[in-house]
Structure 1
Amino acid sequence: MDTTHCTVDGWVDAIPAPGPHGTAMFDLTVCPADADTLPDNAPDTVVSCTGTAAGIVHELLTGIQPGDLLRVTGDLVQPQTPGGPARLAVEVLEVLDTAPMLVLSDMVIDRYGDYCVIFDADTDAVPVFTARGTWVGLADNPDAITTLIDIHERVHGGDDR
């Protein structure tokens, strides 16, 4: 097995996951040094990483989010079969940049007990359904949701009809 000690910069694609025996695993999309000269359709290089040190595992599982730019140092093990993923045993983890905060936009579904409401950034009106999908009505604004639910409860006795 061919092993190389190296440092790699890249973006985290997905939330790191707990691995076996107290480890944390994640994929790192490598930032090529010659990115400006690569064609637009060049494939990404992805390195599968594993952290074993308690501090690194804690940071990976609690502080790292998709889109974070990391610098990792460790032992890179080349794949046993051509085309397989390279594996990096992370010894040092450095956060170079964090991903921008995700902003909820467009629509958000929320629960009010046994009811679901849909908030749309483009309108004040709020559609209200039971959790089973039965139409309750359209609240004129978020402040009118509880009134609409109360009326539905009185008329239908809370039944989902």
Structure 2
Amino acid sequence: MTAIPLVLAGYLDELPVPGDDGLTARFRVISSPTDDTVDETVWACRTADPHLAHALLTLMRPGDLLRIGGHLALPGPGEGGPRLDVDALELLAPAPARHLTEMVLNRYGSYLVIFDPEVDTIPVFTEAGTWVGTAEHSDAITDLIHTHETGSPPPSP
């Protein structure tokens, strides 16, 4: 496997996914050298650094502008696709706050959430339509998803 050092800036595409060990994270970053959608690249990323994984899983939100550094892994045949193994992470700018005026359906990995400005809670479903529950606010969505996937509440920080 070839590993190439790389640093890039891009937007966090969706909520990071925790590894089975809880100390790693997988995520995607969208980067464009020209800010034109035809030039965008979606980077599959992962980190084995528990501090970076914790920051990604608890502090970062889709749309955050990040600078990430690491090594681009180019696996051989049959070893999966390329990915960026991240060992440095910096939040350049948080995602802009959205003031909703109408109902919005948003994706959190394989989960769907409905933001409705006229309702105080946020319903969460799997993409297959299975009911997950209701989050009291947007910061509680990832905890609800974690509980649904593992059967237990997330660990306290």
Residue of structure 1 equivalent to 2:6: 6
Superposition deviation, residue 2 in structure 1: 1.7
Residue of structure 2 equivalent to 1:25: 26
Residue of structure 2 equivalent to 1:99: 95
Q: Under a length normalisation based on structure 2, what TM-score does the superposition of the two structures give? A: 0.58
Please tell me the residue identity of whatever aligns with 1:24. A
1:19-58 alignment to 2 at 5 Å?
A: 19-21=19-21, 22-32=23-33, 35=34, 42=38, 44-58=40-54
Please tell me the residue identity of whatever aligns with 2:29. L
Give the Cα separation in 1 of the matches to 2:91 and 2:120.
Answer: 36
Residue of structure 2 equivalent to 1:61: 57
Size of the aligned set, in residue pairs, is 105
Q: Percent identity?
A: 37
Question: What CA deviation, in whole Å up to 9, does each residue of 1:54-113 have, x standing for no partner?
Answer: 2101110011111111111111112546xx74211111100111110122222535389x
Whether the 8 Å contact between 1:11 and 1:28 is mirrored in structure 2 is yes
- One of 62, 72, 79 as aligned partner of 1:76: 72
Q: Which runs of 4+ in 1 moved over 6 A?
A: none
Matched, 1:89 2:85: yes
Rg: which structure is higher? Answer: 1
Q: Under a length normalisation based on structure 1, what TM-score does the superposition of the two structures give? A: 0.57
* Structure 2: gaps of 5 or more residues: 104-115, 122-157
Please tell me the residue identity of whatever aligns with 1:48. A
Q: Secondary structure at the match of 2:10?
A: strand
Whether the 8 Å contact between 1:46 and 1:85 is mirrored in structure 2 is no
Please tell me the residue identity of whatever aligns with 2:12. V
Q: In structure 2, do the counterparts of structure 1 residues 17 and 41 end up closer, same or farther at CA, with 3 Å as the change threshold? A: closer
Whether the 8 Å contact between 2:13 and 2:62 is mirrored in structure 1 is yes
Whether the 8 Å contact between 2:32 and 2:39 is mirrored in structure 1 is no
Residue of structure 2 equivalent to 1:110: 119
Question: What CA deviation, in whole Å up to 9, does each residue of 1:13-59 have, x standing for no partner?
Answer: 10111123321110011232xx17xxx56252111111221210111
Give the Cα separation in 2 of the matches to 1:14 and 1:63.
Answer: 13
Give the Cα separation in 2 of the matches to 1:69 and 1:111.
Answer: 28
